[in-house]
Amino acid sequence: MSTFYEITDDEGNVLEVLGSDDQPAGEAPGEYPTGEPAAVPQAAVSIASRASWGARYPDGDLTLTGPAVEVFLHHSVTAQLSPDASIAAEAEQMRALESVGQSRFGTGISYNVVVFPSGRAYQGVSWNRRGTHTGGRNSTARSICLAGNYETSQPTAAQVSTAAAIYGEGKGRWWTSAAPLYGHRDVKATACPGRHAYARLDDIRTGDGSTPPSPGEPGGLVVDGAWGSATTRRLQQELGTTVDGVVSSQSVVWRDRNPGLTTGWRWVADAQGSRVIAALQARIGMPGGQRDGKIGPQTISALQRYLGTPVDGVISRESRAVMALQRRLNAGRV
Over residues 100-125, the pLDDT tens digits come to: 999 999 999 999 999 999 889 999 99
Over residues 253-267, the pLDDT tens digits come to: 999 899 999 888 999
65 and 142 in one domain?
Answer: yes
Say if pTM beats, i.e. exceeds, 0.85.
no
Q: How confident is the model at residue 46 (pLDDT cuts 50, 70, 90)?
A: confident
Report yes or no on 218 lying in a domain.
no
81 and 32 in one domain?
Answer: no
Report yes or no on 316 lying in a domain.
yes
List 181's β-bridge partners, or say none: 71
DSSP H helical ranges for 177-264: 195-198, 201-204, 229-239
| Residue 93 φ then ψ, to 5° | -70, -35
36 and 58 in one domain?
Answer: no
175 and 310 in one domain?
Answer: no
Residue 117: CATH number of its domain: 3.40.80.10
Number of domains in the chain: 3
Residue range of the domain that includes 5: 1-42
Asked if 184 and 192 count as a contact pair (C-beta separation under 8 A), the reply is yes
255 and 141 in one domain?
Answer: no
